[in-house]
Structure 1
Amino acid sequence: MVFTDEVQASQQDSRFDLLAYLAERQTLVEAALDRSLPVIYPQKIYEAMRYSLLAGGKRLRPILCLATSELAGGTLEMAMPTACALEMIHTMSLIHDDLPAMDNDDYRRGKLTNHKVFGEDIAILAGDGLLAYAFEHVAVESKQVPADRLLRIVAILGRAVGAAGLVGGQVVDLESEGKTDVSLETLNFIHNHKTAALLEASVISGAILAGAAECDVQRLSRYAKNIGLAFQIVDDILDITATQEELGKTAGKDLQAQKATYPSIWGLEESRHQAQSLIKDAKAELAEFGAPARPLMAIADFITARSH
């Protein structure tokens, strides 16, 4: 189980059993993802899509979606198609990010990257296939959700993954490689779009599916933006401090690519402090929800305690 060490470190003083919660939700998500994408003709593209989609990982984005749906009075069943779609979109971004034209990485989640197994052409198409299928899956498989809510989900996912979100962040990231004068403002723009946008979509989508009040959606949005930026700061720290075995991907890639990172601007200790401050602010946004927000509180702590 990939969570164990980080979770134990993050919940020493908590009565909420985050390890059991994540394990249960991860099992549900894995089963739903497996069911969502059978292999049909042409087999190669479906095999390539499944190779990366089912390659493991913490499934943090779908778990966040399920958690906020339950927080807002919804069910796992109504949120699961969107939860799966979020993982499909995230997997697409990883496949494309690993390509030689982007980060040129050979390993992801401890396995060879998609293009190393299937070739660059099929990897590009596998990512495209997952992105398109994500929207189809939300529209076709969501049950007992009013059409206006589903329409809003589709718009949120589209914005999170497009030029206003992940794609825009990736473009500025690529343009910033090798530059020595990248500002904190630019770095924040990159990661608010490249990382935090999809995490925010994951958090608010579950609440919207369940019909949460707009004020609650806004609180959850602020929570998500804070944990999203903290998540990236921790990623930058781990790229320096963790081994390839711990990361499941090539370590030291940011330094090799001459990328601006939070440690390169702040140093390691200040980066850790900033991440903790963001998590504190994120948890403050949950105070109004009381006990039902315990999973989200614990996940926030887990983000800064993780070693993967």
Structure 2
Amino acid sequence: MEGQSNETVVTEFIILGFPSLKKIYPLMFLLFLLIYIFTITGNLTIFITVLTNHKLQIPMFFFLNHLSAMEIWYTSVIVPKMLSRFLTNSGSISFNNCMIQLYLFSSLGASECYLLTAMAYDRYLAICQPLHYVSKMTNLTSHQLASGSWIGGFISPILPVVLISKLNFCGPNQVNYFYCDSQPLLKLSCSSTRFTETAISTLATGLIFTSFLLTVLSYIFIISTILRIPSATGRKKSFSTCASHLTVVMIYYGTITAMYMQPMSRFSLDINKVLSLLYTVVTPLVNPIIYSLRNQEMKHYLRKLFGEMINKKDSIG
């Protein structure tokens, strides 16, 4: 604690995690460690596969590479600290580190919203305007969209994080959550949080609604175009190119919409924890699985990559 003259008197927070499940913390540590390892391995495998195959150097896989990189950083901001909590039973985190975690987590989440929108636009051009695709989705355009997703994502949460960091925290410092998120932190503040809550909800709703609306509009045009394809084989082939992305969009937006697009006072922290686990831990794990299973080109090159690794191992042996 600091002196009462300072605006912020709490110098560290205690991340409680899942206090009602303390008896099975060792089991939870093992479970989430395995999930984390598979998440990093899966996304890193996709990243390397796309990077090392010149036939995959097209915008769709270029965006997928950025999504994999985001998922690696996204889950790494949350899970290692959570694992430490399970293992050592110590959830202390300094005020500054808590704000950094909040900012990084929020930035990567916003970046993913923008990137998923860019990926939907790419599929819209490929299916609805195939004759103009090459001229419109150039290397420069795809790099601009990817860069804009990262930059826009890291700009978006600056105001909310600054507002939270300026609040007074002069009493309880136990965060009833498994990472530093806005809602549990606002509950600990001893100053009025109405303006901050309104600002965060407004900004989050604007970001999520806008990106989701653009993505939905893209898919309305995409599905409309696919349904007009005369052959069943053509419809199936066209839809298969965007089915993976559509599945990821539904999972991701389903959870963050339930959390952030309504007043924070209506939330139950226990429900929030479950929703947060879905999009901070589970979604980064299932994304590479979805893209690997539903994309024929990705499956082909992954089989080729693992085949080469096995052959190399056999030749060494």
For the aligned pair, the TM-score class normalised by the smaller chain equals 0.3 to 0.5
Q: Which has the higher helix share?
A: 2
TM-score by length of 2: 0.36
